[in-house]
Amino acid sequence: MKVKICGITTLDAAQAAIEAGADMLGFNFYPASPRYIAPEDCARIIVDLTACPVCRVPCLGSPVTLVGVFVNSPAQEVTSILDHCALDLAQLSGDEPPEMLNQFGGRAFKAIRPLTGALAEESARRYAPASWGQPALLVDTPHKRLYGGSGQIGDWAMASYLARKYSILLAGGLTPDNLSTAVQQVKPWGVDVASGVESSPGVKDYLKMRAFVQAARQADIVSAQDEKEPV
């Protein structure tokens, strides 16, 4: 199971997340978010993460998958930032149509926040095939005003239904304390956290990040053991 720590804004937070064992880092380019990072600052962080310790040239490659988070940005802007920052994937968290995902050749996936099971199924049918790979979708908690990052727990039964059909990243109110229950119920491809590992909005707590990753690894082991046990 993959672990994505989202809303990275500093090199220290990026390095701490990697040291904690995260598989994916998310950088938020939505200006209204308290976790917003300017593309230039993100690019500098990526250069430092991938630089050779001897010559300081960015030649090592990133040890994790790097994700840019966008909300209703034009496709050309998304592509430009992906390339400028050397990011692997775009997470489209706004009201983007499925056709937009096709423009990125497998470098993008859609975040959905369905209110009902019927809407969840409809969104999955529309967006999952356009993602081309893994994850197929990010499933987050619906909110009247926010495009994610609300810290509110979503409908895990609905997410579990989608997880049986698609590779999903589960988001929405996850913390080190509730992660085991969430994984046991949903069995997602991966989990995504932002506010659940922060000391304040946009400020990552290193101990919470480590605790979250450890909880994810343990929950993954327990979930795998449960699947092996005979009924």
Q: What is the pTM of this model?
A: 0.92
The tokens for 45 are 């962080």
69 has pLDDT over 60: yes
85 is catalytic: no
Mean pLDDT of 157-167: 95
Which helix (H) or strand (E) segment holds residue 28: the answer is strand 24-28
Instruction: Please say whether the beta carbons of 195 and 151 come within 8 A.
Output: yes
**24 confidence band (pLDDT: 50, 70, 90):** very high
- Domains of the chain and any CATH numbers: 2-228 (3.20.20.70)
The tokens for 123 are 């969104």
Distance CA 166, CA 155 (A): 16
Q: What's the pLDDT score for residue 147? A: 66
140 is catalytic: yes
Q: What percent of the chain has pLDDT over 90?
A: 76
Among residues 155, 199, 208, 171, which one has the least CA distance to residue 91?
171
Q: How many residues does the chain have?
A: 231
Distance CA 204, CA 163 (A): 28
Q: What's the pLDDT score for residue 222? A: 85
231 has pLDDT over 60: no
Angle formed at CA 172 by CA 72 and CA 200, multiple of 5 degrees = 90
Mean pLDDT of 176-184: 95
Contacts of 172 (CB under 8 A, 6+ apart): 139, 140, 141, 150, 152, 153, 154
Distance CA 189, CA 24 (A): 13
205 dihedral zone (left: phi>0; alpha: psi -120 to 50; beta): beta
Q: Which of 140, 155, 192, 220 is the catalytic position?
A: 140
Residue 111 CA to its chain's centroid (Å): 9
Instruction: Please say whether the beta carbons of 170 and 139 come within 8 A.
Output: yes
Using the CB atoms, write b or e for 21-51: b if 16+ within 10 Å: bbbbbbbbbbeebebbbebeebbebbeebbe
**223 confidence band (pLDDT: 50, 70, 90):** confident
Q: What's the pLDDT score for residue 80? A: 97
pLDDT, tens only, 102-160? 899 889 999 999 888 899 999 999 999 888 888 999 999 876 666 666 667 889 999 99
pLDDT, tens only, 37-58? 999 999 999 999 988 766 666 6
Q: What's the pLDDT score for residue 149? A: 60
